[in-house]
Structure 1
Amino acid sequence: MDHQTLSDFIWSVADLLRGDYKPADYGKVILPFTVLRRLDSVLAPTKADVLAELAVRTQAGVNPDPFLKRKAGQSFFNASPMDLKKLLGDPDNVRANLEAYVQGFSEEVRDIFERFEFAAQIDRLARAKLLYQVAEKFADIDLHPDRVSNSQMGSVFEELIRKFAELSNETAGEHFTPRDVIRLMVDLLFIEDDDALTMPGIVRSIYDPTAGTGGMLSVAEEYLTTGGHQAAVRLFGQELNPESYAICKADMLIKGQDVSNIAFGNTLSEDGHVGKTFDYMLANPPFGVEWKKVEKEVRREHEQMGHAGRFGPGLPRVSDGSLLFLMHMLSKMRPHAEGGCRFGIVLNGSPLFTGGAGSGESEIRRYLLENDLVEAIVAMPTDMFFNTGIATYVWIISNRKPDHRRGLVQLIDGSGFGRKMRKSLGSKRKELGEAEIAAITQLFGRSEPADVAILLDAAGKEVDRVVVPEGEAAPASQEGGKVKIAPLSRLLPTTAFGYRTITVERPLLDEQGRPVVFEKGKNKGKPQPDSALRDTENVPLAEDVQTYFEREVLPHAPDAWIDPTKTKVGYEIPFNRQFYVFEPPRPLVEIDADLKLVTDRIKAMIAELAA
């Protein structure tokens, strides 16, 4: 059963709820019932053995919990004689039996349904006389992992959340990331470690500080446990939204993961994994969301702990907290001496360049680049996410760069690799197929410059894109068409992104046009600066400041000088500038010819009207 068919079937429950529930509230019923049926299906084969074991251990007077988990073959169990199908045999007591059944789960599962506030929904459904019908609907489907894989189940939850978010005008992208984006990030994260990951006995930890429904963790685990990889994987995460947290926790339970590794709460103000470090990390923090709610806690940590805390490099402006998540992840990197760490994070364009020298954003970029932590930044196609069509970038950060990457940052323009979807999903109108993901991943894996040859037909329509590694010839154009060459992958030294902002002063003049000088103090006899004429210049780090000043400033302002006390070092990553290709305008003769055709056509039409 494919996930779309399953989603459509579960969605049909909405027909029962219509009228008694607002469409925006359907998810409050459908999501917890879907989780309940999934857990019910997982435990069904061992149900009788678990109940028999419970009787034995209860009679012996010992704590039955560890024995019941062993009999269930899971990290959870249900000690109630009920299941969803048995509930239907007693229609008059379905509410009481359902509540007792949920309470029969082990503590980890009960917490999941508390996050869903499931008891309130049972009460509401019972009062609306819908509880039996809804339970009957879900009892009819089989959600055992043999029928519906964990990957399919994850897609089902995400499809349902997307639909509910559309109904309630919420942003689905706050809860999960499209699977094609995750697959690209996972491939980028692991490609340089592929050989090591095939060795037996390896244990790797993966962390997502904005876990959502657990999609990133699931795809990463699937990569590390299939295709010849033999790593044992430990998954960690934290999530703020109660429903997303509940789904993520249920998914981890079924996978056999330690659910205590999935923390609940705001990652920025309540670190759920204090003191822990990880081998790999993935995150898609919310774009452009202000952090005013946690400003007090974040500023306190920054000011009191400095680099001993999570936010030592600096603080971004309150209107966008995405760089706070990046710094949080920096603090969670396993030290290089213990094997190091690599992580991927999705950010919008703002962290590349927002903030001048000395600003919080610039200081964070400075920390990353001066410590040689940025391996690559990949520009994604627009319209890739469910809740926004803006440009996004995947940053790959590592404290264990291979030798050939030391001191370099790779920029990859993957914005042209998206292909249009047959049917849009919210704001998501493009997707990355296997071929596109492989092409971008190979560019990163090769770690070398490359161009892209865009093949156009005679009408100027794009028919193909071909990656051209440095030193190789571009493909020939089709008959009547042409080939456009554009940069695709660039490797630049970390210093290429740094600059010094110098303050250029001009003298204050009196009424006779003579410089006004200081009459006392350490600057006695020196000209006073005129604040109205004060200006700044950005000098690349690779260039000598005095040489730049003499070449660019003095010819235009011979009386100017630099105030060295105000010089600041800044960093920005002008991504688009590295991939800009100038296209000269058409010859004037061609433009004139086109204009003449248009004007002649207009004259002819006017003549026809006048006739």
Structure 2
Amino acid sequence: MSTLGNFIWSIADQLRGPYRPNQYGNVILPLTILRRLDCIIEPDRETVRKLAAKYDNPNRLKIEVKKATGRPFYNTSNYSFDNLLADADGLADNLADYIDRFSSDVDVFEYFDFKKEILALEKAGLLREVITSFKAVDLHPNVVSNADMGDAFEYIIRKFNEAANETSGDHYTPRDAIRLLVDLLFADKDVDLREAGIVRTLYDPTAGTGGMLTVAEEHLLAQNPDAKLSLYGQEYNPQSYAICKSDLLAKGHDATNIAFGNTLTEDAFKGRQFDFCMSNPPYGVDWKQYAKAINAEKDSAGPYGRFAPGLPATSDGQMLFLLHLASKMRAPGDGGGRAGIVMNGSPLFNGAAESGPSNIRRWLLENDLVDAIVALPTNMFFNTGIATYIWILDNTKHPDRKGKVQLINGTSFWTKMRKNLGSKGREINDADRTKVVKLYADFTDADPDYSKVLRNDEFGYWTITVERPMLDEHGNSVGDRRGKPKPDTKKRDTENVPFNYGGSTAGAAGKTEVIQAYFGAEVKPHVSDAWIDWAKVKTGYEIPFTRHFYKYAPPRPLAEIDADMEKQIAKILYLLREVEG
């Protein structure tokens, strides 16, 4: 997957013995970051040292360094990979000094607790050997592109986690999945993005190692080299945060736009909204430990808070990130925003009517925020083979798309990989991606095997409670004090009535008429004494994606099945005779 990754992995072999496989990353990852930053600042090292001697104030020094080098970060140490090895006895202290003298925005080494590793390497007699190995590799962006560097980091993480029998998928998303998400996210705005000198913002609340931010920037610059995309992100895994931040530093971005912390409990960009938002949150992750803080925020923020529409079950926090992204889209009056998120199938349908998940779907659909949902091929991700979906949200839809949701069946658009990477055995190549994006752009039902365009209200339904009377031993209904029949709880049943039952296009407004029509046609003919408890009617929303693309496959003829069985029986009998003979 990565020549550079293989080289760096080979350095990890030097750590065998004193370090266990699951500890290799604590050394290799920060040293890779350090060597890359070292290569970047090398050409201007003397210039920065002279400026540091002239300006004591860090803020003034940063301004002057930016003027002189064009970079937002610097290092004022007298040491570098070029001369660290010259002082064998002072190597550990000098390396620590080098790290300490980066500008304050380079805080990434703290998140690896790297000074502790320096002492451990020295104690094990490995420090000089490892530094010598890293000195031999040139990681300047002119030699190793940002894309290759990102691939290398992801390769390293995957290899270390495989060696430790741990999961790496939480740290990053496959590049092919990101490219499709980015293409879909920008698809409706591509014309706008080609304007000269445009400035846009992109935000990822689950930034990982920064892969989504990187691919999105590459996409925009490929269309418009004069465009500027300001990148923002938040990440709660210390190592992933450090990699993401160092990657953006190397590209010249404002490192303060990358924040450390849990997005669900500590929104680092509270009050900020963005042109584009994207995320691949963890699937099925329990948020019980954060429930108190999230519930408190929901209660205090009122109807305009990010979690106001509802809360999912504490066993799965995906829809919390979905709501968070919806709140982060730039307001329609300010130009509007779009968001893309990758989730598994449960947010489409889990939860009964008026449950948290159903209420979230209701809020999104009734506010016309869901633009499209794309089913991805299975076996697309490194740590799971389950079905996954891309949701595209938009609060300023194109007029043709208003009031509608497009479902795209992209499950067949994939190419088999030569070698599996964890659970990932399939990839979406350029041709596959082009087909999916074209389906989105065409916005039609012309090819119903792959694209369906539905009204928002077609996902709504009412859950009605059907009661039947309690009967005495003589078969007569039992009444209450007012003479009304008492319901028999053992016979109580519920039915889901679609908003569009009978071809209705009235949506929620057709409640009484549609429910009565359904009851009269589907229930009353079978149980004539039944009635509806109107006080218990609930409104729900679900997106039965698979049902819309389901194709009936008739079972094989019995004769064909019998013939196959006879062949197998004959084979078994033959093998038994061989054993007995």
Fold conserved between structures, TM > 0.5: yes
1:525 maps onto 2:483 in alignment: yes
Q: Which runs of 5+ in 2 are unaligned?
A: 502-513
Is residue 538 from structure 1 mapped to residue 496 from structure 2 by the alignment? yes
2:67 pairs with 1:70: yes
Is 2:419 the partner of 1:416?
no
Residue in structure 2 matched with residue 392 of structure 1 by the alignment: 388
Report if aligned partners of 2:2, 2:148 keep a CA contact under 8 Å in 1. no
Secondary structure of the residue aligned to 1:204 is strand
Task: Identify which of 560, 564, 574 aligns with 2:530.
Answer: 560
Aligned to 2:540: 570
Q: Confirm or deny that 1:90 pairs with 2:87.
A: yes
Cα deviation, residue 331, structure 1:
1.0
SS of 1:243's equivalent in the other structure is: helix
Matches within 5 A, 1:108-147: 108-109=105-106, 111-147=107-143
Q: Distance in 2 between matches of 1:157 and 1:604?
A: 55
1:38 aligns with 2:36: yes
2:18 pairs with 1:48: no
- Report the CA distance between 1:593 and its aligned residue: 5.1
Which letter does structure 1 place at the counterpart of 2:521?
R
What CA deviation, in whole Å up to 9, does each residue of 1:313-357 have, x standing for no partner?
A: 101000000000000111111111111111110000111111110
1:258-269 to 2 correspondences below 5 Å: 258-269=254-265
1:512 aligned partner: 474
Rounded Cα–Cα distance in structure 1 between residues aligned with 2:190 and 2:368: 22
Task: Answer whether contact 1:282 1:344 (CA < 8 A) is retained.
Answer: yes
Q: Distance in 2 between matches of 1:541 and 1:367?
A: 16
Q: Measured at CA, do residues 78 and 607 of structure 1 come closer, stay the same or move farther in structure 2, by a change above 3 Å?
A: closer
Question: Contact 1:240–1:264 (CA<8 Å) still a contact in 2?
Answer: yes
Size of the aligned set, in residue pairs, is: 569
Structure 1 CA distance, aligned partners of 2:79 and 2:137?
Answer: 17
Instruction: Work out the CA distance in 1 between the residues paired with 2:37 and 2:167.
Output: 28
Q: Distance in 1 between matches of 2:236 and 2:399?
A: 39
Q: Tell me: CA distance 1:551–1:9, structure 2 relative to 1, closer, same or farther (3 Å).
A: same
Shift of 1:15: 1.6
Equivalent AA in structure 2 for residue 525 of structure 1: G
**After the TM superposition, which of the residue ranges 585-594 and 232-241 deviates more from structure 2?**
585-594
Alignment-mate amino acid for residue 465 of structure 2: T
Deviation by residue 1:69-100 (Cα, 9 ceiling, x = unmatched): 33332100011121112001111111111111
Task: Select 2:285's aligned residue among 286, 289, 305.
Answer: 289
2:104 is the alignment partner of 1:107: yes
2:4 pairs with 1:6: yes
Alignment counterpart, residue 181 of structure 1, candidates 177, 187, 194 = 177
Change (3 A) 1:243 1:606: closer
Q: Which moved more, 1:594-603 or 1:359-368?
A: 594-603
CA 1:534/1:203 → structure 2, altered by over 3 Å: closer, same or farther? same
- Cα distance in 2 for residues equivalent to 1:73 and 1:535: 70
Gaps of 5+ in 1: 452-469, 471-486
Using the TM superposition, give the Cα deviation of residue 191 of structure 1 relative to its aligned residue in structure 2, in angstroms.
1.4
Deviation by residue 1:163-214 (Cα, 9 ceiling, x = unmatched)? 1121223221111111110000000111121111111121110000000011
- 1:126 to 1:588, Cα distance in 2 relative to 1, 3 A: closer
Report matched runs for 1:399-478 at 5 Å.
399-451=395-447
What per-residue deviation string (whole Å, max 9, x for no partner) do you get for residues 87-143 of structure 1? 01111111111111111110111x111111111111111111111111111111111
For 2:508, the equivalent position in structure 1 comes to none
Provide closer, same or farther for how the CA distance between residues 400 and 17 of structure 1 changes in structure 2, counting only shifts above 3 A. same
Q: What TM-score do you get using the length of structure 1 for normalisation?
A: 0.90
CA distance, structure 2, for counterparts of residue 385 and residue 599 of structure 1: 40
What is the rounded CA distance, in whole Å, between the counterparts of 2:524 and 2:342 in structure 1? 43
2:488 corresponds to 1:492: no
Name the Cα RMSD after superposition: 2.0
Query: Which residue of structure 2 aligns with residue 478 of structure 1?
Result: none
Partner amino acid, structure 2, of 1:579: F
Task: Quote the Cα distance in structure 2 between the aligned partners of 1:173 and 1:99.
Answer: 32
Report how far residue 493 of structure 1 moved.
Answer: 1.2
Matched ranges for 1:195-344 at <5 A: 195-228=191-224, 230-344=226-340
Letter in 2 for 1:188: L
Q: Between 61-70 and 362-371, report the one with greater CA deviation.
A: 61-70
CA distance in 1, matches of 2:485, 2:535: 16
1:67 and 1:604 mapped to 2: Cα distance? 87
Q: Using the alignment, how far apart are the partners of 2:226 and 2:438 within structure 1?
A: 22
Q: Does structure 1 retain, via aligned residues, the 8 Å contact 2:385–2:423?
A: yes
CA distance in 2, matches of 1:350, 1:607: 51
In 2 relative to 1, CA 231–590 (structure 1 residues): closer, same or farther, beyond 3 Å?
A: same
Kindly provide the amino acid, as one letter, of the partner of residue 37 in structure 2: L
Distance 1:601 1:61, change over 3 A: closer
What is the TM-score when the length of structure 2 is the normalising length? Answer: 0.94
Q: Which residue of 78, 83, 87 corresponds with 1:81?
A: 78
What letter corresponds to residue 492 of structure 1 in structure 2? Answer: L
Q: CA deviation at 1:594?
A: 4.9
* Cα distance, 1:241 vs structure 2: 0.4
Structure 2: how far apart are the matches of 1:599 and 1:18?
Answer: 54
Measure the CA separation in 2 of the matches of 1:393 and 1:350: 10
Contact 1:223 1:229 in 2 (8 A): no
Distance 1:581 1:138 in 2: 56
- 1:158 maps to 2:158: no
Give the counterpart letter for 1:549 in structure 2.
F
C-alpha distance in 1 between matches for 2:58 and 2:12: 46
300-309 or 601-610, which moves further after superposition? 601-610
Q: Give the whole-Å Cα distance in 2 for the aligned partners of 1:606 and 1:156.
A: 54
- 1:307 to partner: Cα distance: 2.5
Judging changes above 3 Å, is the alpha-carbon distance between structure 1 residues 605 and 255 closer, same or farther for their aligned structure 2 residues? closer
The answer (yes or no) to whether the contact 2:202–2:275 under 8 Å persists in 1 is: yes
2:361 maps to which residue? Answer: 365
**Residues of 2 paired with 1:552 and 1:77: CA distance?**
73
Decide whether aligned partners of structure 1 residues 198 and 607 sit closer, same or farther in structure 2, where only a CA change above 3 A counts. Answer: closer
1:331-385 deviation line (CA, Å, top 9, x unaligned):
1111111111111100001111111101101000111111111111111111111
Kept in 2: contact 1:372–1:406 (CA 8 A): yes
CA-CA distance at 1:602 after TM superposition: 7.0
Provide the rounded CA distance (Å) in 2 between the counterparts of 1:586 and 1:62. 76
| C-alpha contact 1:221 1:233 (8 A) present in aligned 2 | yes
Question: Match for residue 466 of structure 1?
Answer: none
Q: Percent identity?
A: 53
Query: Cα offset for 1:589?
Result: 4.8
Q: CA deviation at 1:606?
A: 8.2
Q: Distance in 2 between matches of 1:9 and 1:96?
A: 27
Change (3 A) 1:599 1:136: closer
Deviation (angstroms), 1:25: 0.1
Output the amino acid matched with 2:98. Y
